[in-house]
Amino acid sequence: MKVGKGEDILVTHALGSCLGLIVYDPVTKVGGLLHAMLPSSKINAEKAEVNPCMFVDTGVPALFKSLYDLGAQKTKMIVKAAGCSNPLGKNEIFKIGERNYTVVKKILGENNILLESEDVGGNGSRTVYLDLSTGQTMVANNGKKRPL
């Protein structure tokens, strides 16, 4: 996870089954990017305590708290998601990408937060870019880069 304000561009690479959650407040120009690998911290509470951003259920609240600490306001936030794919194909037994997406949608729904846009599913890998000065979010996969 990385949060900030200013002229930086935040980037996360290799979003396969992982969740990439992008949050930006255009008024304060505060934004953040979470790259969470697994849906539930219940599988390893010790790891979740050391690195809550490894898991969707603990990483999403950590991202929002960090943004609030920098002055972002919930009512102004633009929220986007990427990743949650199934890189091993339809027969992948654990369905990590699908489960990551289900957990983030549940957390956001419980907090009355809607996704403005998403690029999830499929079987490819994505790279996400967040420009903190403008809020522009780009997603790249298969050699093509486009707005999210």
Looking at residue 13, its amino acid is H
Can you give the C-alpha Rg of the chain in angstroms? 14
Question: Is 67 within 8 Å of 130 (Cβ atoms)?
Answer: no
Among 44, 2, 46, CA closest to 20: 2
Torsions phi, psi of 27, nearest 5?
A: -80, -50
CA atoms within 13 A of residue 58's CA, in its CB half-sphere: 18
The single residue of 10, 18, 54, 77 carrying the catalytic annotation is: 18
Tokens of 111: 């907090």
84 is catalytic: no
Active-site residues: which are they? 18
